[in-house]
């Protein structure tokens, strides 16, 4: 039975990754900061799906806590780099220490875990890595500046690694979700009521789309027809227009 490591597994898309992977017969290593939630999820999946679930409590922005997760990442067959968070508001008004933590989690932790897993997988000639970015990776996002920039890095980085490991037996994919029902928006300070209902997807749908795309070794996975259309439009439209439009949407959703 193969083993999968999921970061940010305590809630939202990460929790759904864990549920779908358990459904598909994978043993799990669940990583997040919330031990209570992880233990509850691990117990449920062990009982219902008869898989092994190990729990690693870690703040991946801290090097000492990231290190043991890197060690485990080298031993699994599938890695899902899902952990991340966003901040909303004008960059000059935000706490710079919080912005640095965002970069450490969304970028640096993902790079180190990808390196640990990919090196071991290439040596074995098999494995799969799914890095979770966002549709926000496709353009600058005023009032969401650091988050969008970190996800742009994840997209570019993952596409490059995808090409580097071509032919080695290792799959590397980047998932670009749009608005997804989870706790992400509340934690980022985004008013969900300002976002039209038809734009939302469920975390389960996003997780399944990501894992299905990874199984086909797609470099970039955009779940949902609307998100696919938006991704194409964003790439084709003048950058100045998409940047300003994103700024208007984010400004409305973060105003109090």
Active-site residue, from 72, 101, 151, 162: 151
Distances (CA, A) of 155 to 103, 215, 237, 250, 256: 14, 18, 19, 21, 31
Query: Known catalytic residue: 151?
Result: yes
Percent of the chain with pLDDT over 90: 76
Q: Can you give the pLDDT at residue 134?
A: 95
92-117 per-position pLDDT tens digit: 999 999 999 999 999 999 999 999 99
Q: Which residue has the tokens 């809630």?
A: 11
Mean pLDDT is lowest, of 75-89, 94-108, 229-243, for 229-243
Q: Where in the chain are the domains?
A: 3-254
Position 173 confidence tier, pLDDT thresholds 50, 70, 90: very high
256 has a pLDDT exceeding 50: no
How far apart CA 35 and CA 218 sit, in angstroms, is 33
Per-residue confidence (pLDDT) for residue 121, from 0 to 100: 98
Of 17, 147, 153, 157, which residue is the catalytic one?
Answer: 147
User: Is residue 213 over pLDDT 80?
Assistant: yes
pLDDT score of 228: 63
d(C-alpha 176, C-alpha 96), whole Å: 26
Quote the Cα angle for 179-114-43, to 5°.
70
The per-residue b/e assignment along 10-24, b for 16 or more CB within 10 angstroms, e otherwise, is bbbbbbbbbbbbbee
The pLDDT confidence band at residue 244, using thresholds 50, 70 and 90, is low
Looking at domain 3-254, its CATH architecture is: 3-Layer(aba) Sandwich (3.40)
pLDDT digit string (tens) for 114-137? 999 999 999 999 999 999 999 999
User: Distance between CA atoms of 85 and 106, rounded to whole angstroms?
Assistant: 7
Q: Which of 37-41, 71-75, 135-139, 212-216 has the lowest mean pLDDT?
A: 135-139
> In the chain, which residue ranges form alpha helices assigned H by DSSP?
12-23, 35-49, 63-73, 96-103, 110-124, 145-164, 184-188, 203-215, 225-236, 239-254
147 is catalytic: yes
Count of Cβ atoms closer than 10 Å to residue 43 Cβ: 12
Residue 197 region by backbone torsions, left for phi larger than 0, else alpha for psi between -120 and 50, else beta: alpha
151-171: pLDDT as tens digits: 999 999 999 999 999 999 999
């Amino acid at each position: 039975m193969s083993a999968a490591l999921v970061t940010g597994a305590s809630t939202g898309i990460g929790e759904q990754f864990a549920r779908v992977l358990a459904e598909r017969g994978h043993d799990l290593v669940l990583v997040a900061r919330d031990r209570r939630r992880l233990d509850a999820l691990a117990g449920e999946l062990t009982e219902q799906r008869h898989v092994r679930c190990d729990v690693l409590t870690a703040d991946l922005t801290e090097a000492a806590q990231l290190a043991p997760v890197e060690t485990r990442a080298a031993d699994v067959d599938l890695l899902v780099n899902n952990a991340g968070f966003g901040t909303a508001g004008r960059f000059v008004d935000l706490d710079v220490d919080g912005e640095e933590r965002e970069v450490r989690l969304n970028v640096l932790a993902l790079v180190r875990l990808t390196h640990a897993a990919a090196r071991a997988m290439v040596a074995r000639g098999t494995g799969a890595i799914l890095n979770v970015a966002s549709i926000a990776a496709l353009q600058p996002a005023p009032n969401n500046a650091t988050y969008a920039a970190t996800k742009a890095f994840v997209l570019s980085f993952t596409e490059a690694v995808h090409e580097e490991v071509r032919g080695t037996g290792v799959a590397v994919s980047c998932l670009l979700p749009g608005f997804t029902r989870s706790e992400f928006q509340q934690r980022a300070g985004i008013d969900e009521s300002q976002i039209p209902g038809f734009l939302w997807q469920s975390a389960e749908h996003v997780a399944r789309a990501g894992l299905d795309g990874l199984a086909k070794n797609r470099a970039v996975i955009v779940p949902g027809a609307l998100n696919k259309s938006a991704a194409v439009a964003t790439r084709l439209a003048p950058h100045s227009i998409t940047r300003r439009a994103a700024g208007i949407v984010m400004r409305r959703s973060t105003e109090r």
